[in-house]
Amino acid sequence: MAEAALATRPGAARATAPLLKVEGLEAWYGESHVLHGMSFDVRQGEVITLLGRNGAGKTTTMKSIIGIMGKRTGSIVFDGTETIKMPSRLIAKLGVAFVPEERGIFSSLSVIENLMLPPQIKPGGLSLDQIYDLFPNLKERSGSQGTKLSGGEQQMLSIARILRTGAKFLLLDEPTEGLAPVIIQQIGATIQRLKNDGFTIILVEQNFRFAQTVADRHYVVEQGRIIDMIPNEEMDASVDKLHRYLGV
């Protein structure tokens, strides 16, 4: 049933192999073993979410995909390339872009310098004008110090700067965390627009109501494993189950 629903989406039908395939992924922070055999896949053009409690391993999964976890084993195949042993800068060059939970705005750089920092990896990234259309606030404040922006503006800057690079596979770690509802709406609209433009997105979310408005499928993460996958159509029917998983 989920397959049938997906097949109607652009991109999902023609891509036979998933764009990203994670299998048996394990990862460690020093001595502590955080991921215990994560396996999931993401198809071209999909928006999927990783849902789960704090400490379940969602952020660690994102960091493993972009290659900034110190120790990781298993298999992460992106667009046909095994990346488990690659340094993050080479993974980035394959077209994967990361928006960290803490947003990663550089305080010693101005807004425009932050925006221009990630180098272009592939053709087809948004131009500066297109980015300013999407996020008009950034234009007005381009000379300010990056960290002087409000939380919402910093989040937009963090997303905006990777849209310039031409990467079409985005890892967004809790983009709505701590933001006002009106900003969350704006970020939701941005994700929707990127999806329509053919971007593939993994979203980490605590807020499954928000996740439901943008995603195709939801993976539930618990103790470093995927314990369930819920297609977006079944979200309403799965509310009780989700409450149990997320403990809300």
Partner 1 sequence: MTMIFGVPTAALFGQLLLGLINGSFYAMLSLGLAVIFGLLNIINFTHGAQYMMGAFASWMLLNYLGIGYWPALILAPLIVGATGIILERLLISRLYNLDHLYGLLLTFGVGLIIQGLFRNQYGVSGLPYGIPSQLTGGQNLGFMFMPNYRGWVVVASLIVCLATWFIIEKTRLGAYLRAATENPTLVQAFGINVPLMITLTYGAGVALAAFAGVLAAPIYSVNPNMGADLIIVVFAVVVIGGMGSILGSIITGFALGLVEGLTKVFYPEASSTVIFVIMVLVLLVKPAGLFGRTA
Which chain residues interact with partner 1 by CB under 8 A? 66-68, 87-93, 97-98, 100, 104, 106-109, 113, 116-119, 121, 162, 165
> CB 100 → partner 1: shortest distance, Å?
6
Which residues lie closer than 8 Å to 216 by C-beta, 6 or more apart?
6, 9, 46, 47, 48, 231, 232
Q: Which is nearer to partner 1, 131 or 215 (CB)?
A: 131
Q: Which is nearer to partner 1, 6 or 116 (CB)?
A: 116
> CB 111 → partner 1: shortest distance, Å?
12
Q: Which is nearer to partner 1, 98 or 208 (CB)?
A: 98
From residue 244, alpha-carbon distances to 52, 156, 204, 220 in Å are 10, 32, 18, 11
Burial class from Cβ neighbours inside 10 Å (0-12, 13-18, 19+) for residue 16 reads exposed
> In terms of Cα–Cα distance, which of 193, 197, 160, 164 is closest to 175?
160
Which residues lie closer than 8 Å to 74 by C-beta, 6 or more apart?
22, 23, 24, 25, 26, 37, 38, 84
CA distance 208 to 48: 12
SS3 readout for 140-165: HCCCCEHHHCCHHHHHHHHHHHHHCC
> CB 120 → partner 1: shortest distance, Å?
9
Q: Which is nearer to partner 1, 87 or 136 (CB)?
A: 87
> CB 92 → partner 1: shortest distance, Å?
3
Q: Which is nearer to partner 1, 89 or 244 (CB)?
A: 89
DSSP code of residue 238: G
Q: Which is nearer to partner 1, 116 or 229 (CB)?
A: 116
Strand partners of residue 195: none
> CB 61 → partner 1: shortest distance, Å?
15
> CB 99 → partner 1: shortest distance, Å?
10
